[in-house]
Amino acid sequence: MNVNASPNNERLRIMFVELCRIPSPSGNEQPVAEYIRTRLSAAGVPVSEDEAGGALGGSCGNLHLRLEPTGEAAAEPLFLAAHMDTVPPDPDPDPDSETGVVPLLLDGDRVHTAGRSVLGGDDKLGIAAALELILSISEDGQSLPRSLDVVFTVQEERGAKGASYFDASQLRAVQGYVLDGEGPVGSAITKAPTKYRYSIDVRGRRSHAAVDPDAGRNAVAAAGDIAARMPLGRPSQNSTANVGSISGGGPSNIVPDTAQLVGEIRSFDPAEIGCLQDQIQSVAEEVAVAREVSAKVTWEHLYDAYQIAADEACLRLFSEHCRNSGNEPRLMSSLGGGDANAFNNKGLRSIVYGLGMHNIHSRDEYALFSELEAATELLFHIVFGM
């Protein structure tokens, strides 16, 4: 038991701020990967990179490292994961035009961008916490009682694509923590849904909108009809559905012959996923007949649901150390999803670890240093067995 292990909060704050200043939308994680490599190289920690970048059309792959126990391994191996990408705000990231960095404001305990950009605390809070733990072992000489694998993934925001690509056989651990929770410190997501993304390609007939409009078959109008009849919002307490975009058409004097819808469905219940898929297919077919167009539905299976039982090691350790710190663990389910789905689907049992994110995926996002420090302190207790 390492009773003296504790994070260096000054270093932790510096790393978080430095990470947030680096723009890293999905597919362009290389600058953050280089930051991680530089920090760990200086500490003498080797890092490997897989081929996910090339396979997924991105700038770099997933990073992986392993820390061995510094004495006799008395505790079960664990793994940690955090993702290197962020979502861009709508419509584009707003890095400082002169310096090329995300503009940050530090207001005492609070870090934000004053509405100019997403902050990127999702998931640079997780990266900073993982880096601080690694550096505390490699630079500060804190004794590690277990083997620890750490993975920094790519393209989580595109459907956990990096984690899905990652070769789970590289890890010694089969229990761990995905450091990506928007919930408060001391919370964990133990249940998350299956997710599918769909696209509907509509093909009509092109004609002149004034000279021969009746000869045309308007694909954009058909796509609008389909979208209006799609399941949306919360079809049940177990499921959500959304249409994210409609695109197509062109000049106003041409009856458009192409359009596309893109949407998604999520559910805890496999039967409801099937029903939603059938409903979407039926709507597309019915509108296609009525509008005399074609409508092809294509499905992309992103990940399956998972649920962690109370006696599984990752949750048991988490709950134990929350209570040791004087707080009852807050266990949650979420209709969101991400890397934990991909890891759990590979047999790597893991919960999503709460970091205290606020207003993620928006320009109003902010983070509190005090919450990052508390979340990292709790992580130290779990990993070091205090």
What burial letters (b/e) apply to 13-26, b meaning 16+ CB within 10 Å?
Answer: bebbbebbbbbbbb
Supply the CATH number for residue 207's domain. Answer: 3.30.70.360
Same domain, 154 and 31: yes
Identify the CA nearest to 72 among candidates 14, 136, 20, 147. 147
Beta bridge partners of 39: none
Same domain, 124 and 172: yes
What is the structure's pLDDT at 342? 96
Same domain, 121 and 178: yes
Same domain, 25 and 142: yes
pLDDT more than 70, % of the chain: 96
341 occurs within a structural domain: yes
1 occurs within a structural domain: no
- CA 31/CA 152 separation, integer angstroms: 13
4 occurs within a structural domain: no
Same domain, 120 and 105: yes
3 occurs within a structural domain: no
**pLDDT tens, 50-83?**
999 999 999 999 999 999 998 776 789 999 999 9
- CA 371/CA 229 separation, integer angstroms: 43
72 occurs within a structural domain: yes
**End of a domain among 243, 276, 303?**
303
> 183 CB contacts (<8 Å, ≥6 apart)?
189, 330, 332, 354, 356, 357
Same domain, 309 and 253: no
263 occurs within a structural domain: yes
**End of a domain among 252, 278, 303?**
303
What is the structure's pLDDT at 290? 97
Element (H, E) at 199: strand 194-203
Concatenating the DSSP letter of every residue in 233-301 gives EEEETTEEEEEEEEEE---TTEE--EEEEEEEEEES-HHHHHHHHHHHHHHHHHHHHHHT-EEEEEEEE
Same domain, 186 and 198: no
pLDDT range class, residue 1, cuts 50, 70, 90: very low
What's the total number of domains in the chain?
2
pLDDT range class, residue 215, cuts 50, 70, 90: very high
Same domain, 14 and 101: yes
CA distances from 187 to 181, 195, 331, 332 (A): 8, 23, 6, 7
Concatenating the DSSP letter of every residue in 65-84 gives EEE--SSS--S--EEEEEE-
Same domain, 73 and 204: no
Question: Residue 93 pLDDT more than 60?
Answer: no
Helix (H, G, I), strand (E, B) or coil at 377: helix
Same domain, 142 and 232: no
Q: What value does the mean pLDDT take over residues 236-249?
A: 95
Same domain, 132 and 59: yes
Q: Look up the domain containing 93 and give its range.
A: 9-192+305-384
Q: What value does the mean pLDDT take over residues 273-278?
A: 97
Supply the CATH number for residue 75's domain. Answer: 3.40.630.10
Cβ–Cβ under 8 Å, residues 23 and 35: no
Q: What value does the mean pLDDT take over residues 89-101?
A: 61
Q: What value does the mean pLDDT take over residues 299-312?
A: 95
What is the structure's pLDDT at 140? 81
**End of a domain among 303, 336, 353?**
303
What is the structure's pLDDT at 142? 84
- Pair of tokens at residue 339: 């890397």
- What is the C-alpha radius of gyration for the chain, rounded to an integer number of angstroms? 23
Prediction pTM value: 0.89
Same domain, 38 and 158: yes
